Structure 1
Amino acid sequence: MAITSPGVAHSAPNGRTSVDARRRRPDDTKLALLFILPAVIGLVVFYFWPLARGIWLSFTSWDLLSPSQLIGFANYQRMFADPVFWNAVQVTLWYVVLNIGIQTIVALVIAVLMQRLTQSTFVRSLILAPFLVSNVVAALVFFWILDFQLGIGNQMLEWIGLDRIGFFTSEEWAIPTIALVNVWRHMGYTALLIFAGLQAIPANLYEAARVDGASETRMFTGITLPLLRPILGLVLIISVIGSFQVFDTVSVTTGGGPVNASRVLQVYIYENAFAQFDFGYASALSVAMLAILVVVTFFQYRITRAGQTDLN
């Protein structure tokens, strides 16, 4: 009598597999494609098609009322010779540096304090509360608080013996003030992202460091920051992309002024598209901002090594 091993398929005399052969798993590829089809359609309709359309319009002259005319690289030549565009790039970069630098540091401190002092859900909700306020509402509230004549912020400066400051009306203070308004709104959300990264760090690493006599500062620089690097890289990439797209806070407070002190790229694109109806040039400006974001994101990803982790 032939002895057969369990779980091994043997061929019958007619060449077919035996009855006790393991059945094949059903192919769910078609079902999976069916489930992701709505997302793919939305991605194509609302992202890829507008992107392709915008790139095409950047090579045309179009005022929305007449047919578009192909003009080649004329919009890009105009852009490189446009001093307002280069000023908008500088203003945007200055805003990004202020917003990301302050926001990341403050959010990291808040996240570490939450991990060390309390992990209460109520505290997390309080920290996240500013993020639930819309950008326009937050900007208007701070616009009233910091008003040069009637704002309580300037009144408090007078009470302590300082001069009033034109937070939204002076060239020196416009962008820093807008950056701080958005830091207030987004730091809670950023802190929760970093807090989630802190939760993934094994507690036994800190216990072993304490046994070895490591101080809190040493544990923070030697354990927390290195193991938090992928999350910090992700947070920086998301925050930089969002900061480059700042528009509503500037629009409802300064409108790009005084002069061009707060005219960021998004505001300049909007003005060309919907105030001057120069959609071809506005599309070229949008493509330029896309190129800047691609380059910045690529270098951020490579420098922070956001796709790698030291946790094994």
Structure 2
Amino acid sequence: MMKAGSNVSRARRRRKETLTGLLFVAPALVGFLVFYLLPTLRAIQISLTDWNLMRAPKFVGFANYTKLLGDENFWHSAWVTFAYVLYNIPIQTALGLLLAVLSDRLARAVSLRAVIIAPYLISNVVAALVWLMMLDPILGLVNGFLEIVGIGRQGFLASPDQAMVSVAAISTWRHTGLTALLFYAGLQAIPRHLYEAARLEGAGEWTMFHRITLPLLRPVLAFVLVTSLIGSFQVFDVIAVATAGGPSNSTRVILWYIYENAFKFNKMGYASAISVVLFVTLILVTLLQMRLLKADQSDLT
């Protein structure tokens, strides 16, 4: 009897804990359903229609997806987005890791980390406006400095050859601090005795970084690369404020092309089809990254 009563008590306690847990996650779950899952399902539905917002949607099946295959503007925007990713992620990741290691080894002051993270606290729109003024070919401070040192004024955001590099540089400036902070947090989880043992064996800084730091930072590195890649494929704010997809479509990334089709050309079905393709692509790329980086494994055992 006592055993049966104990089992009933444990079952009630588990149900109570489950209910409490569900109550805690309910707000986030409702937010996910309302703002993510339902809009995603609705976008998939709209992608199968021809809808210009002025009349009822007309079902066209996979016609929008077929159209994508021969759309030169779509492939151009995909290539521009890929170029942005190549400009942004490697430099951002390398700088963030460098800042994190230097902060961990040389200075652990909270004030230094606050300075590093400060650009990330500025919104994308504000950051774009600030750099739009600073990079102005005539009145910008950066071009004024370049002229003083004899390099000459540059087009930056107004030049087709420099616009995408400039946009990537703005994003790198804003997000490197967050990347560095994530790496710094990962470094704190690495046992210090490993470095002490390596020094006793005569290992130098590069050897310790290559043999200890990088392998043990793999889960954090995977998280940084996955989130950075997803964010890079969804770049929009800086483009909208600084270049509007120009000059000469040199910064016409996929998200800007989706925006144009949806709200400039009123092709909601086609824009939704591009969104779905981008969504599926990001899922596949994320799964590939997770597998290659072995994000579910850690050497801290």
Structure 1 length as normaliser, TM-score? 0.92
- CA apart distance, 1:35: 3.3
Measure, in 2, the Cα distance between the counterparts of 1:109 and 1:172: 29
- Residue 6 of structure 1 aligns with which residue? none
The residue matched to 2:97 in structure 1 has which SS?
helix
* Structure 1 counterpart of 2:186, from 197, 205, 213: 197
Measure, in 2, the Cα distance between the counterparts of 1:57 and 1:66: 13
- Residue 24 of structure 1 aligns with which residue? 9
Ranges in structure 2 where 5+ consecutive residues have no aligned partner = none
**Structure 1 residues 45 and 22: alpha-carbon distance in aligned structure 2, compared to 1, 3 A threshold:** closer
* Structure 1 counterpart of 2:235, from 242, 246, 252: 246
- Residue 44 of structure 1 aligns with which residue? 33
Measure, in 2, the Cα distance between the counterparts of 1:135 and 1:228: 28
Residue type of the alignment partner of 1:254: T
Share of identical aligned residues, percent? 49
More displaced stretch, 29-38 vs 262-271: 29-38
- Residue 84 of structure 2 aligns with which residue? 95
Kindly provide the CA deviation profile for residues 45-70 of structure 1, in whole angstroms up to 9, marking residues without a partner as x. Answer: 11111000000100101111211110
1:41-120 equivalences under 5 Å are 41-120=30-109
Kindly provide the CA deviation profile for residues 187-237 of structure 1, in whole angstroms up to 9, marking residues without a partner as x. Answer: 111100000000000000000000000011100001001111110011000
- CA apart distance, 1:23: 7.1
- Residue 270 of structure 1 aligns with which residue? 259
Residue type of the alignment partner of 1:277: N
* Structure 2 counterpart of 1:308, from 277, 297, 300: 297
Kindly provide the CA deviation profile for residues 70-116 of structure 1, in whole angstroms up to 9, marking residues without a partner as x. Answer: 00111111111110100000000110111101100000000001100
Residue type of the alignment partner of 2:92: Q
- Residue 153 of structure 2 aligns with which residue? 164
- CA apart distance, 1:22: 7.7
The residue matched to 2:9 in structure 1 has which SS?
coil
* Alignment: residue pair count: 297
Measure, in 1, the Cα distance between the counterparts of 2:120 and 2:78: 27
Measure, in 2, the Cα distance between the counterparts of 1:20 and 1:284: 58
The residue matched to 1:124 in structure 2 has which SS?
helix
- CA apart distance, 1:18: 7.1
* Structure 2 counterpart of 1:299, from 271, 280, 288: 288
Measure, in 2, the Cα distance between the counterparts of 1:170 and 1:42: 41
Q: Does 1:129 align with 2:118?
A: yes
- Residue 10 of structure 1 aligns with which residue? none
- CA apart distance, 1:19: 10
- Residue 218 of structure 2 aligns with which residue? 229
Measure, in 2, the Cα distance between the counterparts of 1:62 and 1:93: 29
Measure, in 1, the Cα distance between the counterparts of 2:248 and 2:51: 27
- Residue 256 of structure 1 aligns with which residue? 245
- CA apart distance, 1:34: 3.4
Q: Does 1:151 align with 2:155?
A: no
Kindly provide the CA deviation profile for residues 233-274 of structure 1, in whole angstroms up to 9, marking residues without a partner as x. Answer: 110001111111100101111110111110001101011111
Larger radius of gyration: 1
Kindly provide the CA deviation profile for residues 100-144 of structure 1, in whole angstroms up to 9, marking residues without a partner as x. Answer: 011000000000011001111111111111011111111111111
Measure, in 1, the Cα distance between the counterparts of 2:137 and 2:5: 85
- Residue 183 of structure 1 aligns with which residue? 172
Residue type of the alignment partner of 2:187: L
Measure, in 2, the Cα distance between the counterparts of 1:111 and 1:87: 36
**Structure 1 residues 163 and 310: alpha-carbon distance in aligned structure 2, compared to 1, 3 A threshold:** same
- CA apart distance, 1:163: 2.7
Structure 2 length as normaliser, TM-score? 0.95
Measure, in 2, the Cα distance between the counterparts of 1:18 and 1:234: 46
Ranges in structure 1 where 5+ consecutive residues have no aligned partner = 1-15
Residue type of the alignment partner of 2:177: G
